[in-house]
Amino acid sequence: MHDLTTGKEARLIFRFALPMVIGNMFQQLYNIVDSIIVGKYLGTEALAAVGASFPIFYTLIAFVIGIGSGATVVISQYFGARDFEKVKKAIGTIYLFMFGAGIVLTVFGIIMSRQIFTMLKIGEDVMPQAITYFQIYMVGMVGFFGFNGTASVLRGLGDSKTPLLFLSLATVVNIFLDLLFVVVFKWGIAGAAWATVIAQAGGFVSAIIYLNRRDHLIHFSLKSLSFDRFTFWQSVRIGLPTGFQQTFVALGMMALIRIINNFDTVALAAYTAASRIEALAAMPAMNLASALSAFVGQNLGAGRIDRIKNGVWATQKMAWTISITVMILVIFLGDELMSLFNNDPEVIQHGKEYLIIVCSFFVVFSSMFVLHGMLRGAGATLIPMFITLISLWIIRIPLAVFFSSKIGETGIWWSIPSGWIVGLVGTWIYYKTGLWKKKTLVRNSEGV
């Protein structure tokens, strides 16, 4: 646990974000390793099947993850105010919510998988492998939510290093099992899915055993967990807009998949590989935003508004530096990066084109995401939700349909940064109004 209310803002945010950046890069390796091994050993159709599964999975979990982010804000603000009894109530509440949601989504995902893939117009050459991969992946929902819930709680307490330890462990296990199940045992795409499920569950169990043996606010025991309605509704109030926001994004990804499926399997495979690289490249900016959320939550709880503005500016400068570096690397190494996933020249060419177009606008993306992180830490999540709704469903998706009808799948790639630009402008305007200052849960002597 770390106090983020004293000390140099930039140094605190960087040190807090660094383990998250490394840890979440490891977490992204779950998807990247799956895609590389599937694409190299099982072919273009299998790679497309993995790509078709991910947006559906993300859509199902997005709302729950959004509520979890609300709990992180509640925990960080109570921790900043040193109200440890309420911190413990929030921890028990979020665990019970996550476990219940995991069970419900597992059942729903397995039963409805074929209908969902049919709705997305997945080709018959991809459909059987996509269903197999997705149904097995959904078996791991409780372990996935348990692990991510633990990481969210720890971040709210100012601890970003412990999640890194177990993310690293889970990633190494996942890579080993991928190679064992797919390359050695020849289990096909099912082996890649089982490798991820086992690795996630193992990471969660290992983290709980470790935390239970230490003197920590988190002491996991099913018998000791209690559900506090007031704390839950605080988490919902803050997290509900973020949950809707994440769901809008996830549904937007599904809509893009449907549009891409108007073309051929090569386009879907290229999008799958390129979007994995993009997700890894975007991770530093996203984690800086998460670190800023915890920083803002604690400082609002302590009434330190002056430190928040300094923290936002420091985080933006770090995000810009990383985004420019990533953009240069991706532009010059696009062919090499794509060839890690697949040897088909068409897949490589389409994927490189995607990377050059999208990553050229990473500065816009990182600026938007940092401001979203700041507002999320303040508990001001409603307006960003509407901004995301507009930038995605009024700008990106209609432009993807229009541009793709004129210039093919390249038009879909151009629609993505178009939505980012609108999102950044809207978020910046709301940030400058200062209305977010009224959203804090904890009142102090300064009236904040």
CA distance 248 to 188: 32
Report whether 167 contacts 160 (CB < 8 A).
Answer: no
pLDDT (average), residues 388-409: 93
Positive or negative, the CA dihedral 81, 86, 88, 93 is negative
Task: Evaluate if residue 402 carries a pLDDT over 60.
Answer: yes
Nearest to 374 by CA among 443, 316, 421, 417: 316
Q: Judge contact between 355 and 337, C-beta under 8 A.
A: yes
Structure tokens at 177: 């099992």
How is 143-198 classified by DSSP, letter by letter? HHHHHHHHHHHHHHTT--HHHHHHHHHHHHHHHHHHIIIIIIS--THHHHHHHHHH
* Burial class of 262 by CB neighbour count within 10 A (0 to 12, 13 to 18, 19+): middle
Cα–Cα distance measured from residue 157 to residue 384, given in angstroms and rounded to the nearest whole number: 24
List of residues 6+ apart from 50 with CB closer than 8 A: 31, 34, 35, 38, 130, 133, 189, 192, 272
Distances (CA, A) of 292 to 316, 318, 388: 10, 12, 19
DSSP secondary structure string for all residues of 408-434: THHHHHHHHHHHHHHHHHHHHHHHHHT
Q: How confident is the model at residue 112 (pLDDT cuts 50, 70, 90)?
A: very high
Segment 409-447, tens digit of pLDDT: 999 999 999 999 999 999 999 988 887 776 555 544 444
3-state secondary structure of 287: helix
Q: Which of 116-130, 157-171, 184-198, 263-277 has the lowest mean pLDDT?
A: 157-171
pLDDT of residue 441: 54
Q: Is it the case that residue 54 has pLDDT exceeding 90?
A: no
Rounded distance, CA 255 to CA 269, Å? 16
Residue 8 amino acid letter = K
Residue-wise pLDDT for 154-198, tens only, equals 777 777 677 778 878 888 898 899 999 999 999 999 999 999 899
Mean pLDDT of 230-252: 81
- Outline where 305-396 has alpha helix (H): 305-339, 345-359, 362-377, 382-389
Contacts (Cβ under 8 Å, ≥6 apart) of 266: 44, 344, 346, 347, 350
H helices present in 42-160, as ranges: 44-80, 84-119, 127-139, 141-156
Q: pLDDT at position 309, please?
A: 86
Alpha-carbon gap, residue 242 to 103, rounded angstroms: 22
**Average pLDDT of the chain, as a whole number:** 85
Among 8-17, 26-35, 331-340, 347-356, which stretch is predicted with the lowest mean pLDDT?
A: 26-35
